[in-house]
Amino acid sequence: MIRWLARRLVLSLITLWLLATIVFVIANVLPNDVGRTIAGPFAPQETVDAINERLGTNDPLPEQYLRAMRNLVTFDFGNSFQNRQPVLPAIVGAVGRSGLLAAYALLLTIPIAILAGLFAGRRRDRSADRAIVLAGVTLSSIPEFVIGTFLVVVVGVQLRLLPVIARPPENANIITFLSFLAMPALAMAIVYFGYIARMTRAGTIEVLESDYIRTATMKGLTTSQTMRRHVLRNALVPTVAVIGVQIGYLFGGIIGVEKIFNYNGMGQLMLMAAQRKDIPMLTAGVIVIGIVYMLATLTADLIIAWMNPRARLESGR
Amino acid sequence: MDATATVGPVTPVGPTLRSERAQARRETLALLFRKPGFLIGVVILAMWAVFAVLGESIAPYDPFNDFARRHVPPGPEHLFGTDRLGRDVLSRVIVGARDVLLVAPLAAILGVVAGSLLGLIMGYYRGFIDDAISRVVEAFLSLPVILVALLTLVVLGSSTLVVVLVVGILFTPIVARTVRSAVLSERQLDYVTAAKLRGESGLYIITREIFPNVLGPIVVELTVRFGYAIFTIATLSFLGVGIQPPSPDWGLTVSDEYTNMISGKWWPTLFPALAIASCVVAVNLIADALQSLTGE
């Protein structure tokens, strides 16, 4: 187990290094005059040169690369082009707020999706199964911001059930707070329902076809006993894996949702940075989300290893 | 399925074999058209394709320069109402199909061609090349696609070409991984061993022996990526870095109009949003039908 974990951690670090390298290539190697970007199209060339000098964008690329990697190791992501403040505190705060929204969405979607997946898996190829699969495919293929607009029109404007702007008042109690965040969370929950339900369904079908379930049935366990003792634990392995992966995607889709509902999180921060061409903010955002994704998949792998000892033997070699 | 058929003789694919393949393809198509999901998907997508091609000639009004009253609700004059500048929403939704249905397939094709090449090489040669590329693929997969596209489009400036390149390249790793695993199960089969024993070159085995047998997963991957490309490009346009004005692109229109929803003017946002949804759902229904066919 320790060896498995060590190997897994080393691989994550290599992936992180490659990720930072890809981001470096995008931000520093692709043609882009940083000084001109900051100073604007009408600034005199001297100003542009001075900014490039100060930021070191004229230095040889290997030197810039080493500097970037050194900064990464010390968690120094540089200063914003916009207000010259370090970008990390702003990003950490925004990731926290987006994480709250994402957790809300997952809490809404995971129980329903798992139940739907188990239900569909047990009724494979019957009409209920087909309906759940079709709903899953349909909903998970629609972009989050599109689902968000549907919710605003139907739930917010026509029915007037929930607030359409995700800005809870200061000192709001927990109920008010959750109701203000309900629509953006729901928009994401709807999109992720399909992925999770389909994985649970696939896991259930695989387990139900296995020999040990036949044994369990033949030795006289009732269906609910079999489901509880044997099916759930094994069928949820792919589900846990897909939830881990989804947490990374969640932060991609969250940008559109935050824009529609004007939620003050990572998406809004990144959009603002994009409008102001604040490249350090954007690169740091990509790397931080990459780290979040890696931690999420690592956690998922740990849970899977705990649920299914075979998994750690297989990947431990 | 027909892997065993290609093992036997050393002779290249003969006429009988080719007609057998054509027959198999016809049977696959017949099976596909019996699936209601596939049919619905094809009909919807064909409708948008027709709208994209004919565009202005079938739109009831000029989508760009015909200014009526602003925010007229849907009615007999304007079926989908008018937008914030008084332009006909229906006409703009029809012409808005054009850009995304041009850009998304190009991005999907780029990603699938590049990814298949990588996947074939990784899966066939294994060893160091496979390990090295696998790590890079892993790193790419942990990148948040929308966010990286945002960064890249800010650095390079947004244009149709850059959108195609960025989305295509971001899709390459995931295609590579899928094709690689398909190749891995093929290369253990006897026909590959036979080709190796005949002394065929790696290039020949990859292109003439393995490629035709992993074409199924590649076609599925192409439709799946096409769906994701519409998804991603619509999102990027909504975020302001995808398709640029004055295009009546759907995502862009939603971005221009969504703040008016709160005051009850939902139609300029809802109809393009429905257009995006119908388009991605159609592609995914097709992809799903293809997948269930190759999976069995």
HEC-encoded secondary structure of chain A: CHHHHHHHHHHHHHHHHHHHHHHHHHHHHCCCCHHHHHHCCCCCHHHHHHHHHHHCCCCCHHHHHHHHHHHHHCCCCCECCCCCCEHHHHHHHHHHHHHHHHHHHHHHHHHHHHHHHHHHHHCCCCHHHHHHHHHHHHHHCCCHHHHHHHHHHHHHHHCCCCCCCCCCCCCCCHHHHHHHHHHHHHHHHHHHHHHHHHHHHHHHHHHHCCHHHHHHHHCCCCHHHHHHHHHHHHHHHHHHHHHHHHHHHHHHHHHHHHHHHCCCCHHHHHHHHHHCCCHHHHHHHHHHHHHHHHHHHHHHHHHHHHHCHHHHHHHHC
Share of chain B above pLDDT 90, in %: 55
Model pLDDT for residues B234-245, shown as the tens digit of each residue? 999 999 999 998
pLDDT at A256: 92
pLDDT at A79: 83
Residue B218 has pLDDT above 90, yes or no: yes
Cβ atoms A214, A127 nearer than 8 A = no
Pick from B102, A126, B77: nearest CA to B69: B77
pLDDT at A218: 82
Pick from A233, A236, A240: nearest CA to A301: A240
Give mean pLDDT, residues A144-149. 94
pLDDT at B14: 55
Residue of chain A whose Cα is closest to the Cα of B152: A26
**Which residues, 6 or more positions from A103, have their beta carbon under 8 angstroms from its beta carbon?**
none
Angle between helix A279-307 and A266-275 (nearest 10): 150
Which of A8, A125, A145, A167 would you mutate first to test chain B, the one with the most B CBs within 10 A? A145
Q: Do B227 and A141 touch (CB under 8 A)?
A: yes
Model pLDDT for residues B238-279, shown as the tens digit of each residue? 999 999 988 999 999 999 999 999 888 999 999 999 999 999
pLDDT at B295: 63
Residues of A in contact with B171 (CB under 8 A): none
Size of interface A-B (CB pairs under 8 A): 157
Q: Do A286 and B148 touch (CB under 8 A)?
A: yes
CATH of B34-295, one of 3.20.20.70, 2.60.120.260, 3.40.50.1820, 1.10.3720.10: 1.10.3720.10
Give mean pLDDT, residues B272-296. 89
Q: Do B37 and A134 touch (CB under 8 A)?
A: yes
Residue B2 has pLDDT above 50, yes or no: no
Write down the H helix ranges in B34-88: 36-54
Angle between helix A309-316 and A279-307 (nearest 10): 120
Å from A225 to nearest chain B CA? 31
Residue A40 has pLDDT above 90, yes or no: no
End-to-end CA distance of chain A: 11
Residue A240 has pLDDT above 50, yes or no: yes
Å from B283 to nearest chain A CA? 9
Share of chain A above pLDDT 70, in %: 97
Model pLDDT for residues A95-118, shown as the tens digit of each residue? 999 999 999 999 999 999 999 999
- Closest to A255 (Cβ–Cβ): which among B146, B258, B281? B146
pLDDT at A302: 86
Q: Do B142 and A297 touch (CB under 8 A)?
A: yes
ipTM of the complex: 0.88
Which of A142, A246, A251 would you mutate first to test chain B, the one with the most B CBs within 10 A? A142
Model pLDDT for residues B23-79, shown as the tens digit of each residue? 887 888 888 888 888 999 999 999 999 999 998 899 888 888 888 888 989 988 899
Residue A56 has pLDDT above 80, yes or no: no
The one-letter amino acid code at A186 reads L
Of the ranges A43-57, B5-19, B39-53, B136-150, which one carries the lowest mean pLDDT score?
Answer: B5-19
> Residue B17 — very low, low, confident or very high, per pLDDT cuts 50/70/90?
low
